[in-house]
Amino acid sequence: MTALPQENDYVTTLRATSNELEKILYQAFPVLDHGFIRVVDYMGDDAAVVQAARVSYGKGTKRKSEDQGLINYLLRHRHTTPFEMCEIKFHVKMPIFVARQWLRHRTASVNEYSGRYSIMDKEFYIPAPEHIAAQSLSNNQGRGDILEGRDAARVLEYLKHDALLTYKHYQELINFDDEGNIIDEDRPSLARELARMNLPVNFYTQFYWKIDLHNFMHFLSLRADSHAQYEIRVYAEKMLEILKAWMPMTHHAFMEYKMGATHLSKTATDIIRRRLKGEAIDAKSSGLSAREWGELVTLFPEVGA
């Protein structure tokens, strides 16, 4: 972990700073049962986005209300480069299976804890009972009904038992106990890079993750969405709060034009126009797939009325 700055480490800076983000810098926010997220560094603020946009036509800083309007315009019309001028760096700790989803976003710089060099901690994720659910019957990558009673108890028992057992075997393979002492002086230790493969993906890992603002918002638009897996969504929701503290004007535009908005295809837009003119439209005549039609009438029930 990055050491916290000491009092004599602070110097006066001419860099752009965010007062609200400075208040929570280095602060670890707990997520899930053993995870956390914290900001360790950042570059830029709302004014940096505005500055980058206005330099292209040679105008200086305007009033705050105009800055908000410009940021709204940039995000609404998908002008991405001004947002790429700002960056933020996180230190995150999460279950390995969440990290594998997270690192599919290849637009960040990452440095992860290595089980080749270090001993993996005895920390593993066990879902809370309200998050133990059956497989969805309509979505291959989603959850269905919450499990209860004996079914839920059996799942929890297996998860805890298997995690503890595999970690016990992992310790025997590397020949180290919970206190970091050698278990048997006469027995060789298996290479850590081999021993780690015995651990399940609910064990925790951690990494530093640095990303520019444009790609950060793209990450949030996918992972803070209600359809995202719960275990990654809770991290993204905390990051939304951090974005608001860091860049309130950009956060406002993001929530208005990305998170709170919807994207319609050309055909769906034509359907709405036709419906406004009074034309009756059903799924068969819409020209949309069954899934697209269902999504459209969920958003606009009047279309299928």
153-166 pLDDT per residue, tens: 999 999 999 999 99
197-236 pLDDT per residue, tens: 999 999 999 999 999 999 999 999 999 999 899 999 999 9
Q: Which fold has domain 1-119+202-261?
A: Gyrase A; domain 2 (3.30.1360)
Query: Where do the structural domains in the chain lie, given as residue ranges?
Result: 1-119+202-261, 126-200, 266-304
> At how many degrees (to 10) do helices 46-54 and 64-76 cross?
70
C-beta neighbour count of 48 within 10 angstroms: 19
Q: Nearest 5°: CA angle at 74, between 73 and 75?
A: 95
Query: 154, 223, 233, 291: which is the annotated catalytic residue?
Result: 223
Whether 62 shows a pLDDT value over 70: the answer reads no
Tokens coding 127? 């879902």
- Residue 168's contacts (CB-CB under 8 Å, 6 or more residues apart) are none
Whether this model's pTM surpasses 0.85: yes
Is 223 tagged catalytic?
Answer: yes
Distance CA 187, CA 172 (A): 10
Distance CA 247, CA 258 (A): 15
Residue type, 210: K
39, 89 contact by CB (below 8 A): yes
